[in-house]
């Protein structure tokens, strides 16, 4: 069995034609093609049937520029992670202290002195100022 089927004889799709049209327009914008050459090639573009026909339209054009490399992934923000951990610790300690205060108040049948605000407010104020000032925010 002989292989009479060459890859350049495969029929093209409209998507292939549109990609070639974009390449021709870029070549015109770069000055590789005059307006008359662009018009002539665009007229012939929609008459093409095979990959060979499309290749003939762009054969003398410079290769398209390589796409830009993808942006580097962002580095982990250690300050943001630290702020999240500190906030979680502060919330946990504050919640435990509040629960203990509520239990003491319920068991004594009297509202106890709200001592839980002393470990709650000063560190909370410091964390609030740090968050407000931008510590841990993503820098652009």
Token pair, residue 27, equals 């070549």
* pLDDT for 5: 67
What are the C-alpha distances in Å from 8 to residues 50, 73, 112?
Answer: 7, 39, 88
Weakest-pLDDT range from 2-6, 60-64, 95-99, 126-130: 2-6
Token pair, residue 133, equals 């000032």
What is the tens place of the pLDDT at every residue in 2-61?
Answer: 456 678 888 999 999 999 999 999 999 989 899 999 999 999 998 899 999 999 999 999
What is the tens place of the pLDDT at every residue in 44-79?
Answer: 998 899 999 999 999 999 887 788 899 988 888 888
CA neighbor of 90 nearest in space, from 38, 126, 53: 126
């Amino acid at each position: 069995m002989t292989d009479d089927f060459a890859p350049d004889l495969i029929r093209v799709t409209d998507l292939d034609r549109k990609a070639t049209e974009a390449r021709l327009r870029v070549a015109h914008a770069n000055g590789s093609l005059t307006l008359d050459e662009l018009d002539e090639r665009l007229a012939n573009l929609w008459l093409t049937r095979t990959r060979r026909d499309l290749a003939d339209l762009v054969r003398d054009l410079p290769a398209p520029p390589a796409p830009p490399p993808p942006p580097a992934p962002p580095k982990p923000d250690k300050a943001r992670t630290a702020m999240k951990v500190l906030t979680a610790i502060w919330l946990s300690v504050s919640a435990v202290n509040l629960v203990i205060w509520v239990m003491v108040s319920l068991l004594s049948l009297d509202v106890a002195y709200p001592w839980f605000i002393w470990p709650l407010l000063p560190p909370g104020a410091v964390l609030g100022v740090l968050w407000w000032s931008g510590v841990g925010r993503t820098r652009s």
